[in-house]
Structures are given as C-alpha cells and as structure tokens.
Structure 1
Amino acid sequence: MMEQQGLRHQGASPNLADVLERVLDKGLIIAGDIKINLLDIELLTIKLRLLVASVDKAKAMGIDWWEHDPALSHPRPRQLAVENARLRKKIRALEVAALEARR
C-alpha cells in the first residue's frame, strides 16, 4: 500500500523529506542547560532552547518575534513612503536655511 504524500511503502523507513515534513508540521523542541561550577559555586549557567517548526506552526503557537524585529523584517511600504516624505521635507528646510545664511 502506497501513501499519497511522500510515496512511501508501508513498513519502509521514512526518508529525510518525510521526517522534515513531520518535524515542521508538528514542531520539535530541544532544551538543555549548561552549568559551570567551581567548588560548589555556580559560575555560569547557559540555558539553551531550540524550536524547529514551520512558520505557520510557530504562529499557531503564538511565536512571531521575527515579524516585529527591525533587524529581520523590513518596514511596510507605507511606512517607507511616510519616512521618505519626512526626510525630503527636512532636507528642503535645511537647504532653505543654508541659502538664507549665505545672504
């Protein structure tokens, strides 16, 4: 019997594409802590959390930080147009002020 998605035989081991599809669909969380102690004194603790999921799955879980991080997302075109108009107005005002200062 063959499965429509992924075209694999019943009982056959899943291939990489099947595993990746399942991980992105369901999500995978890996968590771990690294602690460095010296004579029972905690010097450093590093908490590692890794989530592997599709964008749609992450959004369904309420995770969408990349949409609001300016380093990862571009401003909307309307915001760019407004900012552009504001800067052009400021440049014109500076040019006028420079011309008046020369007189």
Structure 2
Amino acid sequence: MSDHDAVKHPVSSNSLVDVLETILDKGVVIAGDISISLADVELITIRIRLLIASVDKAKEIGMDWWETDPYYSSKGIELQRENNQLQEQIQQLEERLTETEERNKKS
C-alpha cells in the first residue's frame, strides 16, 4: 500500500482527554422536554435537565445535594433524624397550644 492509498484522518488539536477536562471544568447543561399527546390532549410531559460537571464545579455553583441526601451521605441520615425530631416537637407544641386555647375559651 502506498502513501497515496493510506486512509487519512483529520488531525485534531484537542484530544478526548482535553475535551473531557474542559467539560468537567466548565460544566455542561443539557435540557429537553418530551411530551406525549393524543388528539391534542397532553398525556405526559417529561422534563430532562442534565448537568455534567466536576464535583468541585458542582459545589461551586451550589449543587451539592449528595452531601445532605440521606441515601448518599451519613450526614444526610443525621439531618433526616434531626428533622424528624423537630417535626415531632412542632407537632407537640401545636397540640399544647390548641389545648391551652380551648381551656382559655372555657374559662
């Protein structure tokens, strides 16, 4: 096979690694909506939002849900437990307030 018969590929200045590094450093958002309709009646709509970024970039823009989600973090489990306790305390206080108001009405 001579040099003239060889398959030539375009030379790219960016390698795949460079492209991935840029995507993770800057972040990429992909958004789209899918709607299924029948006879002009919308049956279902699916909204897709996808963010591709490094962990550092995600934290920088405030997307750190995995740090407090009880399914992904031990800190999240503790926060969920604390939240449940606070909800119980609020319910108890509301019940006491209702009882006190009822007693005051009878007096």
If the length of structure 2 is used for normalisation, what is the TM-score?
0.58
Query: Match of 2:104?
Result: none
TM-score by length of 1: 0.60
Tell me the amino acid that sits aligned with residue 15 of structure 1.
S
Q: Which runs of 5+ in 2 are unaligned?
A: 1-10, 79-107
Counterpart check, 1:29 vs 2:36: no
Q: Deviations over 1:22-47 (max 9, x none)?
A: 00000000000000000100000000
| 1:74, distance to aligned residue in structure 2 (A) | 2.3
Helix, strand or coil at the partner of 2:13:
coil
Measured after TM superposition, the shift of residue 15 of structure 1 is: 1.0
Any unmatched runs of 5+ in structure 1? 1-10, 80-103
Matched length: 67
1:72-87 paired onto structure 2 within 5 Å? 72-75=72-75
The percent of aligned pairs where both chains have the same amino acid is 60
Following TM superposition, the consecutive aligned residue runs of length 4 or more in structure 1 with deviations greater than 6 angstroms are none
Distance 2:26 2:75 in 1: 30
Higher helix share: 2
Are 1:69 and 2:69 an aligned pair? yes
Q: Could you tell me which amino acid in structure 2 is paired with residue 66 of structure 1?
A: W
CA distance in 1, matches of 2:43, 2:28: 30
